[in-house]
């Protein structure tokens, strides 16, 4: 497995390895200081970024490398250079490439041409780095993943899809409560359900938030309006998602020891109330911090060719 483009690329053994590596980097963050010695990792960001940009830069630095952040206006793509040409050139200088952009097709084209590992740092369809950090956070808090249910409430976009896929591969129960028309793509749901059948987990879709959070160990949500959503759709999205706000009342239907998670940035008073996200049950800042060891783990595993991936 050369690249990490989506959570569905991973096997159960791959996830176990990544979580083990990430836990190791939590306790010994500079335990592989020469892996990227004297090498660069370009980080291409066509979208704004706080956690991904900084955690990736820190991860590359801790592995001994130099992160180089570039945007659309700093390369020749807007002057007509093709993605494959750009990939080949970048790959001749770099140890790996990290990309955050809109189109999954663009990332796939980059990975197909690049001679070095490519990591998807968020597209319209996927956010695999976030999913690895999320499972690391759940494992860190509860001690294990199996036997726990994640209830995702809100828009079934890229974060929900990657979380669903990763949780199913790991053998967890995952329930998504979304408004009609806001569920993840059918093929993603079918993949996750098949993986859950193999791993001993379960995947459930519903339109009812209360039903989703019953017996849940984790209640998870994301912003209602994502980067790239058309302005003329925003009002309709907010109206459709309003019944899916996570508040203390909804949290009261989850397990007594349930925690709250959010990939950030958050809009208090919209998808989640301030009482929940700033309360004692919130793990959002632990979750954000875990983006760093999770990214170290992904880069380390790819660069040392330890991920088997799906054939």
The pLDDT, as a whole number, for residue 168 is 98
Q: Is 100 a catalytic residue?
A: yes
Topology annotation, domain 7-126+291-303: Rossmann fold (3.40.50)
Q: Is 127 a catalytic residue?
A: yes
Instruction: Give the span between the Cα atoms of 151 and 218, in whole angstroms.
Output: 6
Nearest CA-CA partner of 147 in 219, 221, 216: 216
Annotated active-site residue in 6, 51, 53, 100: 100
Annotated active-site residue in 3, 9, 130, 245: 130
- Find the DSSP H helices in the chain: 12-27, 51-62, 83-93, 104-113, 128-142, 158-169, 186-199, 209-213, 231-241, 248-251, 274-277, 284-289, 291-303
130-288 and 7-126+291-303 share a CATH fold = yes
The pLDDT, as a whole number, for residue 311 is 65
Low-confidence ranges of the chain (pLDDT < 50): none
The pLDDT, as a whole number, for residue 229 is 67
Site of tokens 């001690």: 143
DSSP, res 66 = E
* pLDDT tens-digit map of 178-222: 999 999 999 999 999 999 999 999 999 999 999 999 999 999 999
Q: Which two tokens stand for residue 130?
A: 């976030």
**What are the boundaries of each domain within the chain?**
7-126+291-303, 130-288
Annotated active-site residue in 3, 195, 291, 296: 291
Annotated active-site residue in 155, 237, 262, 263: 263
Instruction: Give the span between the Cα atoms of 136 and 18, in whole angstroms.
Output: 9
Annotated active-site residue in 3, 155, 222, 245: 222
The pLDDT, as a whole number, for residue 228 is 63
Topology annotation, domain 130-288: Rossmann fold (3.40.50)
The pLDDT, as a whole number, for residue 95 is 98
Q: Is 263 a catalytic residue?
A: yes
* pLDDT tens-digit map of 5-42: 999 999 999 999 999 999 999 999 999 999 999 999 99
The pLDDT, as a whole number, for residue 233 is 80
Q: Is 148 a catalytic residue?
A: no
Annotated active-site residue in 127, 149, 161, 262: 127
């Amino acid at each position: 497995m050369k690249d990490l483009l989506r959570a569905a690329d991973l096997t159960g053994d791959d996830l176990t390895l990544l979580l083990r590596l990430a836990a190791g980097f939590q306790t010994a963050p500079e335990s592989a200081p020469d892996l990227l010695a004297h090498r660069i990792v370009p980080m291409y960001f066509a979208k704004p970024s706080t956690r991904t940009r900084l955690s990736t830069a820190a991860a590359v630095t801790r592995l001994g490398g130099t992160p180089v952040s570039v945007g659309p206006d700093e390369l020749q793509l807007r002057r007509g250079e093709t993605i494959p040409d750009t990939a080949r050139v970048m790959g001749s200088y770099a140890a790996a490439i990290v990309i955050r952009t809109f189109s999954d097709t663009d990332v796939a084209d980059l990975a197909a041409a690049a001679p070095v590992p490519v990591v998807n740092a968020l597209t319209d369809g996927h956010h695999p780095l976030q999913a690895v950090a999320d499972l690391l956070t759940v494992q860190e808090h509860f001690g294990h993943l199996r036997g726990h249910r994640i209830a995702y409430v809100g828009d079934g976009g890229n974060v929900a899809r990657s979380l669903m896929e990763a949780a199913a591969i790991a053998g967890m129960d995952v329930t998504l409560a979304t408004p009609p028309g806001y569920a993840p793509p059918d093929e993603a749901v079918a993949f996750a359900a098949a993986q859950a059948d193999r791993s001993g987990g379960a995947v459930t879709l519903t339109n009812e938030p209360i039903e989703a959070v019953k017996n849940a160990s984790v209640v998870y949500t994301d912003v209602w309006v994502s980067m790239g959503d058309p302005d003329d759709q925003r009002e309709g999205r907010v109206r459709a998602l309003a019944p899916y706000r996570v508040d203390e009342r909804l949290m009261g239907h989850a397990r007594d020891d349930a925690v709250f998670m959010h990939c950030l940035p958050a809009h208090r008073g919209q998808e989640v109330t301030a009482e929940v996200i700033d309360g004692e049950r919130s793990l959002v800042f632990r979750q954000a911090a875990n983006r760093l060891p999770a990214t170290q783990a992904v880069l380390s595993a790819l660069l040392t060719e330890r991920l088997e991936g799906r054939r």
